[in-house]
Each structure stands twice: as C-alpha cells, then as structure tokens.
Amino acid sequence: MIQRVGVTLLAVAVGVVAAGAGEREKARAEGVRAFTLGLVQMGLRVGQSQADVAEQLGSPNIVTRDAGGREAWVYDKVSTEVDASSGSVGLGGLGSGAGSTFGGFFGIAVGKRSEKARSSQRTLTVVVRFSTSGAVESYTWHESRF
C-alpha cells in the first residue's frame, strides 16, 4: 500500500515537470520571440517601412505624432526574472520516522531546509521615429536592470 502511494506521487511529480517543459516547447514552436535589444539591433534599419517594423517588433505600446506630422513608435517592455532555490539535507532509513511521519514511512528524513529567492527587473524602451512618408528616420533605446 505504502509503496503504491509512493509510486503514484512520483508519477504525478514527473508528469507536472513534463507538462511545464511541454508548454515551453509549444511557445518556441509557435514562434514567440523575446523582445530583446539584439532583436531590435538586428531587425531595425533606417529606411524601413512601418509595416516592416511592425513585422519585426510587433505592435508598439505608444504611437505619437509631432507637429510636423511625423510618427514615433514607443516600445516599452518590462520583464521580471526570479531565481528561487531550496534545499534540504537528511538521512534516514525505511521506517526511521525521522522528520515527518509521512516521510519516515518512505525512508526519507529531513534534517535541514533552506530557501532563497532573488528577483530582478529588466526594462527596455525603444523609440522609433518615422519620416512623413513612413520610413524609419532613426531609433534609440534605453535598457536598465534593477
């Protein structure tokens, strides 16, 4: 009975990890690209049309027009990176009962547990300025991490 529960829990854990990996692969297969400075530098050229810019970078967050009728597109992207880790150290044998009662039945004893989490945010702001004919005149960017 106890072994069957342990095998079932292991199978569920493996299934959850596999499902997460499948979602990441699906996003890659669908062509989802991260908005990065490298993408901007490789994809933008002076003289490109607005349609080419939209194809390369997607829809802008803000579109403005100056007094002369020239458009500027602003891409403002924010990403959060989280690095979390946890660990535990333990020793025990089948039925040792060390740690939690449930863990003791499976021969797992938890002695020490530590958890760490660190997060940072990254911003990338790109401004693309177009001529009155709709061609890229210039572009600038600002990248920061905090």
What pLDDT, in 10s, does the model give residues 33-57?
A: 788 899 999 989 999 999 999 999 9
Instruction: Please indicate, yes or no, whether residues 65 and 42 belong to a single structural domain of this protein.
Output: yes
- Which has the closest alpha carbon to 110: 99, 97, 95, 94? 99
Instruction: Please indicate, yes or no, whether residues 20 and 43 belong to a single structural domain of this protein.
Output: no
Instruction: Please indicate, yes or no, whether residues 7 and 52 belong to a single structural domain of this protein.
Output: no
The DSSP line for 22-47 is HHHHHHHHTT-----HHHHHHH--TT
In the chain, how many domains are there? 2
In angstroms, the CA 47 to CA 52 distance is 10
Q: Which domain holds residue 15?
A: 1-32
pTM score, whole prediction: 0.57
Instruction: Please indicate, yes or no, whether residues 104 and 132 belong to a single structural domain of this protein.
Output: yes
Instruction: Please indicate, yes or no, whether residues 28 and 79 belong to a single structural domain of this protein.
Output: no
Instruction: Please indicate, yes or no, whether residues 12 and 61 belong to a single structural domain of this protein.
Output: no
